[in-house]
Amino acid sequence: MAGGTPLNDEVPYINPDRIPWLCTLHSILRREDSSRQDAILACSALKKMYRHILVNGASAIETEQPEEKPSLKILFVHLDGPIDIIAGRLEKRRGHFMPPELLKSQFDTLEPPSAPENFITVSLEKPLPEIVLEIESAILQGEASVE
């Protein structure tokens, strides 16, 4: 993606280019959890399977079904907004690895979170302070409202 080319998505549900990266992120989150540390991870995780791997690690690759007891409790924050708002923000960023030309492919790939995933949806059409407050509140309450 840094080179302006989307990663390989030939295998349904699982992108082989992303598996090692997602498993590494799961390991980092697991390490922090084991140390009783909270962690914030920012990544797109556009597909349900990618989020499933973040929660359950490599074992998620074997099955698409959510585990009865996930190995990690992760709150996914789905930042939702129209493509024009996101394109405008992306064009204002300097030094970001993702070229604006790939934004449409990101929207096409997106599988918005749904039950039983632990998530909140936050509108990007709100002012930034409201967005931050909504996310902070969800984290502090330790709850997710599935929308």
> pLDDT tens digits, the chain, 147 residues: what are they?
444 445 444 444 566 788 999 999 999 999 999 999 888 999 889 999 999 999 999 888 876 665 556 778 899 999 999 999 999 988 888 877 777 788 999 999 999 999 989 999 999 999 999 999 999 999 988 755 433
- Domain ranges for the chain: 19-141
Cβ atoms of 100 and 87 within 8 Å: the answer is yes
131-138: long-range contacts (C-beta < 8 A, 24 or more apart)?
A: 131/79, 135/77, 138/75, 138/77
The values of phi and psi at residue 67, to 5°, are -70, 150
Q: Which CATH architecture has domain 19-141?
A: 3-Layer(aba) Sandwich (3.40)
Write the single-letter amino acid at 124: L
pTM across the whole model: 0.79
